[in-house]
Amino acid sequence: MGANRRQRVVIVGAGFAGLFAARGLRRVDVEVTLIDRHNYHLFQPLLYQVATAGLAPSDIAWPIRGILSKQKNVTVLLDQVTGVDKTTGEALIGDSKIRYDYLVLATGARHAYFGHEDWEPYAPGLKSIDDATEIRRRILVAFERAEMTTDVDERTRLLNFVIVGAGPTGVELAGTVAELARRTLAADFRRIDSRSARVILVEAGPRVLPAFSEKMSSYAQKALTRLGVEVLLENAVTQCGVDGVVVDGQDIPSATVLWAAGVAASPAGDWVGATVDRAGRVFVEADLSVSNHPNIFVAGDTAVVYDSKGQVVPGIAPAAKQQGRYIAKVIQSRVDGTAPPRAFQYRHTGNLATIGRKSAVMELPFMRMTGLVAWWGWGIAHIYFLIGVRSPLTVAINWLWQYVTYSRGARLITGGRPGGADSE
């Protein structure tokens, strides 16, 4: 190992944190290996649109190789990391190992069911493209089966849609499912009236969008109600099974229950034996490294980061992006032998959530907006956010196009069980 060997940075995860860490190293004299178990970078804020048949997967996910093809110091590998050997400095991939000088763990989050993991098959969450297309399948097939059945109770059950958790994901899902039922599909059926579907949003806490201000919360709740969503606050799901849910003692028969009620970190914290919080997120130092392991960094939803005011940095995309870039700067300073950057400081860019196609709440540091102008502001913010991933103009034109044409192509039912009517 001569002094002139280029140092190796291994980044696990090609979400916002991992991708922008890789891009941040494009002018640094290191060999970067970026490993992800998917071949695409996923724009998670719009995953709910794929789940509700408003966008296609290819509208919100792009091959990592395509994004990084011009960056010659990056090698992309499609694989799954299963552990880390800190003593030898290697990441474990099945039977193989990859040596690192610097390791960045940016493996994101998964769903948390608060001890009720057995609910997962009946109440899928939304973290990946395959989650989204499965949810889309369930929603669309529910309407199809309702059209075919002659059993009145079964039809009612099929036309009840339950969303658990009223954070941004739950609110966005509820709003778009309601619109799907009330508008998009309204002319498509002859035996059922899709507009009679019930969309029920269940939240254990006292308000929707608990991370937003009360005023924005209240606006969002009214907008949801106008769309016909039934908002049940301070109600918790106590049972969940193939027939539906039980919410505070009340039976709600349903064929489509969607889980947006909690996330936990990926198991990366276990790989390095770091201290984690209750959700499995790794406590990191001021420079986002793991205690006593200055060459191992954790970023994004897998980390718990405190800002200078002592507040936890939210698990949202802009935070992950900033952390990824910051880590690249730290590594750069070490490779170049220059002074390290100051402690990581999160710059809050705001809270955004849409309600249907025409409304949104947008809480920026100095401004709040609601309604249609917030919806367009939300769109522009997200497109701007993609700079460095994909040409914003390309994305803007594509999304605008889908919006204007109601993206009928996104309403495909694919996959499913062999031999069933909804499969090949």
DSSP for 109-123, please give it: EEE--TT-GGGTTTS
Crossing angle of helices 372-385/392-404, nearest 10°?
140
**φ, ψ of residue 207 in degrees (nearest 5):** -150, 160
Query: Considering only CA atoms, which of 41, 30, 24, 36 is closest in space to residue 100?
Result: 30
Interface with its own copies: number of residues (CB under 8 A): 60
- Based on the shown chain and the rule CB under 8 A, indicate whether residue 400 belongs to the binding site for its own copies: no
- Based on the shown chain and the rule CB under 8 A, indicate whether residue 7 belongs to the binding site for its own copies: no
Distance between CA atoms of 142 and 253, rounded to whole angstroms?
Answer: 13
CA atoms within 13 A on the CB side of 176: 26
DSSP H or E stretch at residue 131: helix 129-148
Q: Which of 6, 85, 118, 148 binds its own copies (CB under 8 A)?
A: 148
- Minimum distance of its own copies from residue 215's CB (angstroms): 38
Under 8 Å between Cβ of 185 and 179 = no
Q: Which of 30, 159, 185, 268 binds its own copies (CB under 8 A)?
A: 185
Under 8 Å between Cβ of 274 and 267 = no
- Based on the shown chain and the rule CB under 8 A, indicate whether residue 196 belongs to the binding site for its own copies: no
Query: Considering only CA atoms, which of 65, 75, 79 is closest in space to residue 10?
Result: 75
Piece in contact with its own copies (CB under 8 A), picked from 156-164, 212-220, 363-371, 395-403: 395-403
- Based on the shown chain and the rule CB under 8 A, indicate whether residue 388 belongs to the binding site for its own copies: no
The residue with tokens 């408003």 is 54
Distance between CA atoms of 163 and 169, rounded to whole angstroms?
Answer: 10
- Based on the shown chain and the rule CB under 8 A, indicate whether residue 141 belongs to the binding site for its own copies: yes
- Minimum distance of its own copies from residue 80's CB (angstroms): 5
- Based on the shown chain and the rule CB under 8 A, indicate whether residue 341 belongs to the binding site for its own copies: no
Piece in contact with its own copies (CB under 8 A), picked from 113-121, 195-203, 320-328, 401-409: 401-409
Distance of alpha carbon 160 from its chain centroid, rounded? 25
Nearer to its own copies, 32 or 316 (CB): 32
- Based on the shown chain and the rule CB under 8 A, indicate whether residue 190 belongs to the binding site for its own copies: yes
Q: Which of 147, 154, 270, 285 binds its own copies (CB under 8 A)?
A: 147
- Based on the shown chain and the rule CB under 8 A, indicate whether residue 152 belongs to the binding site for its own copies: no
154 is an active site residue: no
- Minimum distance of its own copies from residue 56's CB (angstroms): 4
3-state SS, residue 415: coil
List binders of its own copies among 48-77 (CB under 8 A).
56-63, 65-66, 69-70, 72, 74-77
**Which one of 90, 134, 172, 214 is the catalytic residue?**
172
Q: Which of 6, 78, 85, 213 binds its own copies (CB under 8 A)?
A: 78
Distance between CA atoms of 358 and 178, rounded to whole angstroms?
Answer: 13
Distance between CA atoms of 421 and 298, rounded to whole angstroms?
Answer: 45
Nearer to its own copies, 7 or 39 (CB): 39
- Based on the shown chain and the rule CB under 8 A, indicate whether residue 129 belongs to the binding site for its own copies: yes
Q: Which of 6, 99, 191, 226 binds its own copies (CB under 8 A)?
A: 191
**Burial group, residue 256, by CB count within 10 angstroms (0-12, 13-18, 19+):** buried
Amino acid identity at 151: D
- Based on the shown chain and the rule CB under 8 A, indicate whether residue 144 belongs to the binding site for its own copies: yes
Where on the chain is the footprint of its own copies (CB under 8 A)? Answer: 37-40, 56-63, 65-66, 69-70, 72, 74-80, 128-131, 133, 140-141, 144, 147-148, 185, 187-191, 390, 394, 397-398, 401, 405, 407-415, 420-424
Catalytic machinery residues: 172
